[in-house]
Amino acid sequence: MIKVTKFGGSSVANAEQFKKVKGIIDSDPARKFIVTSACGKESHEDHKITDLLYLCEAHIRYGVSADPIFDLITAKYMNIKNELGLSIDMEYEITRIRSQLSYGMSQDYLVSRGEYLTARCLAEYLNADFVDAADVIIFRYDGEIDMERTHDLILEKCANSKRVVIPGFYGAMPNGSIRVMSRGGSDITGSVIANVLNADVYENWTDVSGFMVADPRIIKNPLRIPRITYAELRGMSYMGANVLHDDAVFPVKSKNIPINIRNTNEPDNPGTMIMNDCSEMDAKEPPHVLTGITGRKDYSVITVVKSHSSTEVGFLKKILEIFEEYHVSIESVPVTVDTFSVIVQTRAVESCIYEIIGRIKKVIQPDDLKVEEHLALIAIVGRAMKSVPGISGRLLSEFGRNQINIKVINQSSDELSIVVGVDNRDFEKAIRCIYDKFVRSEEKKA
């Protein structure tokens, strides 16, 4: 059994957290390949090391001393070293980084040092080998990971280790210079390593016990989602349930490796399993009708009415091209006879809505054109909905009973999700109502 185990920033925020990580690693010999983020926030007022490193770089770029910020970074690592009794020569490591702080230094090199130092400390504390990500994660010049070289190097440098710690978030360009990934990129490092090693599971340890059926800020103590498919996760994440970097999914999904989201502060909680196919486990323990409810406020609907347009070939394309011209990504396009609506995030069109309207008027010459704001979209996702007739009917009547006006409704053809649009003001009420009807009531029956 091989587990690739990635710890996020909050899991390694201080010496206390390092101890929890050790407990987790020691409790399972399969956890041999460990990836870490840089130290995250210890408390609300604290700062992530990566943020501080970016801030240092910005100070230097504008000719302001970065010393006070760099001192915070130094203090964090000195504390970890001292509290855990590590022998790493931190003064030397810090001096080496500090000596590079000058105008024109590589920003990527500087911000990668958070992961580097955290991994060095963790490797020593866990009695593991340290393998630098720059020696195993290799980018091509186009910025994509060179999977062939990365594969060979990971096998060469890590596969035979008893236990190894690798920093997340960065790798090296073909010329050896450091390159960082986008924010949250340690998730990708873990996923790539799990792919190469054909891991049985990719564990992603963070500060929540997996995904919840609904947002705990709206629903008190929502149920945990024990299992979710990658397809369902897409349906949830496009609405904002972001625990995992989007690009971390592909490397493991392509090899059918499940991701297990776990909580470092609650290690006995099994968290959420994300898999290609949950059917085997569903057969043993049938899932709820709804896997999750998620949503986001502040969408705008641009509605274009033009008679006989629904039979005109290419009509919709003309409208969509206008949005493309302004680089606005479209959330959904509900269509009825001669009426086309385009739903977009309000902030995406804030600066260009009048230009877009002008262009539509010129190109389409519509009979009517309306822009409505303050729309909230709610996605109800569930692989088990397919086999249950009447879900949308129950949903509509529940909204009716609670005086919630549905402005848009859209069911995906794979029956995996239903998206409803309501007024921003009804957002929380609608989520509560769905949760009570489909989750709470099932709980009571059980």
Q: Is 184 in the site for ligand ASP (CB under 6 A)?
A: yes
Whole-number minimum distance, CB 218 to ligand ASP, in Å? 27
Whole-number minimum distance, CB 183 to ligand ASP, in Å? 4
Q: Is 118 in the site for ligand ASP (CB under 6 A)?
A: no
Q: Is 169 in the site for ligand ASP (CB under 6 A)?
A: yes
Q: Is 38 in the site for ligand ASP (CB under 6 A)?
A: yes
Whole-number minimum distance, CB 13 to ligand ASP, in Å? 11
Q: What part of residues 71-110 is at the interface with ligand ASP (CB under 6 A)?
A: none
User: Please, which residue, 207 or 282, has the CB nearer to ligand ASP?
Assistant: 207
Please count the residues of this chain forming the interface with ligand ASP, following the rule CB under 6 A: 13
CB atoms within 10 A of CB 167: 29
* Residue (of 125, 248, 104, 100) closest to 188 by Cα position: 248
Query: Whole-angstrom Cα distance, residue 149 to residue 152?
Result: 5
The 10 Å CB-count burial string (b at 16+, else e) for 371-408 is eeebbbbbbbbbbbbeeeeebeeebeebbeeeebebbb
Query: Looking up tokens 């409803």, which residue turns up?
Result: 420
* Token pair listed for 108: 């990527």
37, 74, 191, 229: residue in contact with ligand ASP (rule CB under 6 A):
37
Name the one range near ligand ASP by CB under 6 A: 22-30, 90-98, 181-189, 313-321: 181-189
Query: Whole-angstrom Cα distance, residue 289 to residue 443?
Result: 11
User: Please, which residue, 248 or 434, has the CB nearer to ligand ASP?
Assistant: 248
Contact predicate 38/118, CB 8 Å: yes
Query: Whole-angstrom Cα distance, residue 124 to residue 114?
Result: 16
Q: Is 7 in the site for ligand ASP (CB under 6 A)?
A: no
User: Please, which residue, 208 or 416, has the CB nearer to ligand ASP?
Assistant: 208
Q: Is 287 in the site for ligand ASP (CB under 6 A)?
A: no
Q: Is 9 in the site for ligand ASP (CB under 6 A)?
A: yes
Residue 446: Cβ-neighbour burial (10 angstroms; 0-12, 13-18, 19+): exposed
Q: Is 167 in the site for ligand ASP (CB under 6 A)?
A: no
**CA distances, 371 to each of 260, 343, 349, 368 (Å):** 42, 10, 11, 10
Q: Is 50 in the site for ligand ASP (CB under 6 A)?
A: yes
Query: Whole-angstrom Cα distance, residue 104 to residue 72?
Result: 22
32, 48, 81, 288: residue in contact with ligand ASP (rule CB under 6 A):
48
Whole-number minimum distance, CB 55 to ligand ASP, in Å? 12
Composition of the chain by helix, strand, coil, percent to 5: 45, 20, 35
User: Please, which residue, 50 or 417, has the CB nearer to ligand ASP?
Assistant: 50
Query: Whole-angstrom Cα distance, residue 37 to residue 183?
Result: 10
∠ CA 161-162-163, nearest 5°, is 90
Whole-number minimum distance, CB 428 to ligand ASP, in Å? 30
Query: Whole-angstrom Cα distance, residue 403 to residue 406?
Result: 9
User: Please, which residue, 194 or 344, has the CB nearer to ligand ASP?
Assistant: 194
User: Please, which residue, 168 or 258, has the CB nearer to ligand ASP?
Assistant: 168
Pairing of strands 259-263, 201-206: parallel
Q: Is 340 in the site for ligand ASP (CB under 6 A)?
A: no
Name the one range near ligand ASP by CB under 6 A: 78-86, 182-190, 212-220, 284-292: 182-190
Residue 206 backbone zone (phi > 0: left; psi -120 to 50: alpha; other: beta): beta
∠ CA 438-270-137, nearest 5°, is 115
User: Please, which residue, 180 or 278, has the CB nearer to ligand ASP?
Assistant: 180
* Token pair listed for 418: 């239903």
185, 190, 271, 287: residue in contact with ligand ASP (rule CB under 6 A):
185
User: Please, which residue, 8 or 421, has the CB nearer to ligand ASP?
Assistant: 8
Whole-number minimum distance, CB 17 to ligand ASP, in Å? 14
Name the one range near ligand ASP by CB under 6 A: 71-79, 185-193, 206-214, 256-264: 185-193
Q: Is 242 in the site for ligand ASP (CB under 6 A)?
A: no
Rule CB under 6 A: which residues touch ligand ASP? 9, 37-38, 48, 50, 114, 168-169, 183-187
